[in-house]
Chains A and B, each alone.
Chain A
Amino acid sequence: MVTLTINGTRVQAEEGSTVLEVARFYGFDIPTICYHDELTPYGACRLCMVEVDDGRRTRLVASCLYPVKEGIKVRTHTERVINGRKLLLELLLARCPNSKTLQDLASKMGLEKVRFKMENENCILCGLCVRMCAEQMGSGAIGFVGRGQKREVVTPFREASEICRNCGACMFICPVVELQCRGVKSPGELCNSCLVFTPQCLEKYGNVMCTLESCGACVEKEEK
């Protein structure tokens, strides 16, 4: 066991665990996109960045990969971290404005405006599907090709994969395609309904109408 502090609280953790695991265990909320409990951490979305002081220097690290060490001081919500996360989310939303996962995160973080030119992509290249397919489904039918702006997830040679069993796990885990935000009126607008959530539909219908995680999209947005 090692002892560390998270946001000033002394906590104990098992050696070999990551800062993200420990922080979440103790109830500290760190946003993530490319992370999943049952998959190998990938460290690509960088939303889980936290400040770690290891006694020599303070630096930003990806908490999903950073192993806990004796005596380190972790701060999950410093100004530098929050500003960075917000700008990063802004970039992601500019790429995939209709992802409910991203829209919800925006509401949670209080992001209300995207300053970049909007695109309408369906993939944020988080790699969850690739790892899901390989690690949990034992298949490896999809993977990344290309570099930089040309990077995408495809089957080998873009042909129907022989080892794909059409299990749908890739779609299940996808944070963009599976959950499209229904609240957005025009492409690129931030919904922010969750931010001003007063579930009027409850008064009207007795329960929330949608089958998805309640997002408040059915609610008329209050004037701010």
Chain B
Amino acid sequence: MKKIRSRGHLEEIRRKLLERKESEKRCITISSGTCGRVRDSQKVVEAIYDSVKKHGAGDKVCVRVTGCHGFCQVAPIVVIYPDGIFYQRVKAKDAEDIITKTILNNRIVNRLLYVDPTTEEKIVYEKDVPFFRKQMRLLLGNNRFVDPTKLEDYIAVEGYKALCKVLFEMKPEEVIEEIKKSGLRGRGGAGFPTGVKWESCRKAEGDIRYVVCNADEGDPGAYMDRSLLEGNPHSIIEGMIIGAYAIGAHDGYIYVRYEYPLAIENTRIALDQAREYGLLGKNILDSGFDFDIKIAMGGGAFVCGESTALMASIEGKMGEPRAKYIHTVERGLWNKPTNLNNVKTWANVPLIINNGADWYSKIGTEKSKGTGIFSLVGKINNTGLVEIPMGTPLRQIIYDIGGGIPGSKKFKAVQTGGPSGGCIPEKLLDLPVDFEKLTEAGSMMGSGGMIVMDENTCMVDMARYFLDFLADESCGKCFPCREGIKRMLEIVVDITKGRAKEEDLGLLQELAEMVKDFSLCGLGKTAPNPVLSTLRYFRDEYGAHVRDKKCPAGICKDLIEYFILEDKCTGCGACLKLCPQQAIQGEPKKLHIIDPTKCIRCGICRDACPYESIMVK
């Protein structure tokens, strides 16, 4: 493909691509994002190529390597289109069967089918998998059809159509008006109306403007930005070009963490292609509009996801936030008006332009429009990325899509919004997920992480985990965040070790509220949320640690004791052999006993006992 000269030329290319696709043979799609690659998807890809070659099936089938499809629990996934035959947890040795049975002889390979954990039914087609069926995959859906290293694939799924519409049919003000009308809100977590932000940036004084894409996703357990950049980078690039046109910017940056090598690689390939084909650079599609994007790599500081710290980092300074009393849309990168949006926000833009603001604003709730992407992780059957219309109740996400809690354990809470968010207890499971409702519940949307916890999770320990993370990730500039988080952690550690006094709970609450009020940036202002929300919903559990010196979930090592049930122990000696402390004594075939003074509560004995006779109290 040569440089695309004009709008007509692009449409012609698209028509030809679609014609070719219509007449096309079947297509084997292999998910090979980060989640796939850790399970050797690259070997699967090789094996499938080899097998196709070996059986001379090249004229019957084509192979497409894509990013993550979202159902990471069962990656790598192989889907055969157009039928949509869905194979999961595919290994390199399965390639032969897929080619010889399914492709050459139209037979299903039974052992690769997905089994619904609730009904134990085998499911053949992708569209019937409950995890996908109940989602609305506006942004993630295209990951299946696009090889991120091929611009043609993106063009075939209506790619750069919105860009043409904007460049040749709309004035910048009209674009902003459309985005405003759609009700799109920033997907980075705060939920600021995107159109309003664009307008302020366009109106800000200055000759040079910048647009920035924030892909510095650092929350533990959240990875949807990575998945989008890995799987469909052109959708973000297209969004950014449209934004730049509306705002009047000619330079853009994608700030992405160094820890996302595949995302960086795919974005770089996509940018090079876009430049080569004339979709970036001078005079885009002969419209007279110039715009280019650079990649800026982050060094792995969580705080650099904060807009001003991110900009300082791009400028080559220490990644530290500054007060935003003068907004970044007026003075941002190098003190020029700068519009920063999250990966998902940019990816929404082409959708809105293509389908219209009215269409978009029908999805979601009154104040939160469109879909939200959440990464569902933790104690959940179906781990993966979930895209649902805003306002979907939590219960539906966790049980209908997520498939519930594994091992018939009880649901306890879900942490939304990562370390800046809070936990939501079972009694609020019917809460519709949108910006306002989550904030009311003491949590926040954040970047969209959802960590599900079962009854074996200690909420104090959970708060300790997040405080530990934040104490490490606080930049240390402002005093309340640096000193406050350190002291909150100190108190919470004391609680988990049974050293805390009753008044420490009051001090913890006081500290949390001060840090929330007095900190400089969003990191500090939201850092106490895990503490405040657990104090709000699980105060009893704190009380049990402080007063009774007990950990009800059996997690905090200093407050628990392992013991052996007399009637269940057969004296098999399995625990005795494995105990690293020689804390277990007992004659063969007689009751064994754990010496609590020697026991380090590692739990190896409990895992080893075939009779479930070892308990925690």
Contact = CB atoms under 8 A, between A and B. Distances in A.
A199 B325 CA distance: 45
Given A91-B484, A95-B483, A146 B514 contact: no
Contacts of A172: none
Contacts of A151: 475-477, 482
Given A88-B514, A144-B318, A148-B473, A94 B479 contact: no
Contacts of B482: 125, 148-149, 151
Given A60-B517, A67-B325, A146 B476 contact: yes
Contacts of B175: none
B326 A46 contact: no
B490 A46 contact: no
B494 to A, nearest CB: 10
A129 interface: no
A88 B518 contact: yes
Given A62-B520, A148-B475, A87 B514 contact: yes
Interface string B458-494: 0000000000000111111111101110110010000
Interface in A28-77: 43-46, 49, 60-62, 65-67
Contacts of B204: none
A148 B474 contact: yes
B520 A147 contact: no
A102 B490 CA distance: 22
A46 B514 CA distance: 11
Contacts of A26: none
A80 B516 CA distance: 12
A83 interface: yes
B265 interface: no
Contacts of A124: 479
Interface residues of A, number: 33
Interface string B194-217: 000000000000000000000000
Interface string A147-179: 111110000000000000000000000000000
B325 A87 contact: no
B115 interface: no
A88 B480 contact: yes
Contacts of A125: 476, 479, 482
Contacts of A87: 510-511, 514
B483 A92 contact: yes
Nearest to B525: A60
Contacts of B520: 43-44, 46, 62
B519 interface: yes
Interface in B265-324: 301, 303, 318, 322-323
Contacts of B303: 147
B474 to A, nearest CB: 4
Nearest to A89: B479
A84 interface: yes
Question: Chain A CB within 10 Å — which of B510, B511, B518 has the most?
Answer: B518
Nearest to A42: B477
Nearest to B473: A148
Contacts of B519: 46
B517 A84 contact: yes
Nearest to B302: A147
Contacts of A92: 479, 483
A147 B473 contact: yes
Contacts of B475: 147-148, 151
B129 to A, nearest CB: 43
Interface in A93-129: 94-95, 115-117, 124-125, 127
B578 interface: no
B507 interface: yes
Contacts of A83: 510, 514
Contacts of B301: 147
A87 B486 CA distance: 14
B483 A91 contact: yes
A83 B483 CA distance: 16
B104 to A, nearest CB: 57
Grouping DSSP codes into helix (H, G, I), strand (E, B) and loop, the A interface class, with mixed when no group exceeds half, is: mixed
A88 B479 contact: yes
A53 B80 CA distance: 60
Given A84-B514, A91-B484, A149-B471, A43 B323 contact: yes
Contacts of A147: 301, 303, 472-476
Contacts of B486: 149
A33 B477 CA distance: 13
Nearest to A80: B517
A116 B491 CA distance: 9
Nearest to A49: B518
B282 to A, nearest CB: 39
Interface in A14-29: none
A62 B478 CA distance: 11
B518 A116 contact: no
Contacts of A149: 471-472, 476, 482, 486
Given A44-B478, A87-B511, A148 B471 contact: yes
A147 B321 CA distance: 12
B530 to A, nearest CB: 17
A148 B484 CA distance: 11
Question: Chain A CB within 10 Å — which of B326, B479, B487, B490 has the most?
Answer: B479
B518 A67 contact: no
A67 B490 contact: no
Contacts of A95: 483
Interface in B25-75: none
A46 B476 contact: no
Contacts of B326: 67
Given A44-B478, A92-B483, A148-B471, A60 B325 contact: no
Nearest to B478: A44
Contact of A66 (B325, B490, B510): B325
Contacts of A84: 514, 517-518
A148 B472 contact: yes
Contacts of A146: 476
Given A46-B520, A117-B490, A149-B471, A91 B480 contact: yes
A115 B507 contact: yes
Nearest to B506: A115
Contacts of B471: 148-149
A88 to B, nearest CB: 6
A88 B318 CA distance: 25
B479 to A, nearest CB: 5
A203 to B, nearest CB: 40
Interface in B447-462: none
Nearest to B318: A144
B480 A46 contact: yes
Interface string B316-345: 001000110110000000000000000000
Contacts of B484: 88, 91
Contact of B487 (A46, A61, A91): A91
Nearest to B487: A116
Contacts of A66: 323, 325
Contacts of B478: 43-46
Query: What are the 8 A-B residue pairs with the smallest beta carbon separation, nearest first?
Result: A151-B476, A91-B483, A148-B474, A65-B323, A148-B476, A46-B518, A87-B514, A43-B323
7 contacts: A44-B477, A49-B518, A88-B480, A88-B483, A88-B484, A92-B483, A151-B482
Interface of B: 301, 303, 318, 322-323, 325-326, 471-480, 482-484, 486-487, 490, 507, 510-511, 514, 517-520
Given A46-B520, A80-B517, 14 more contacts: A43-B520, A44-B477, A44-B478, A44-B479, A46-B478, A46-B518, A46-B519, A61-B325, A91-B479, A91-B484, A125-B479, A147-B472, A147-B473, A149-B486
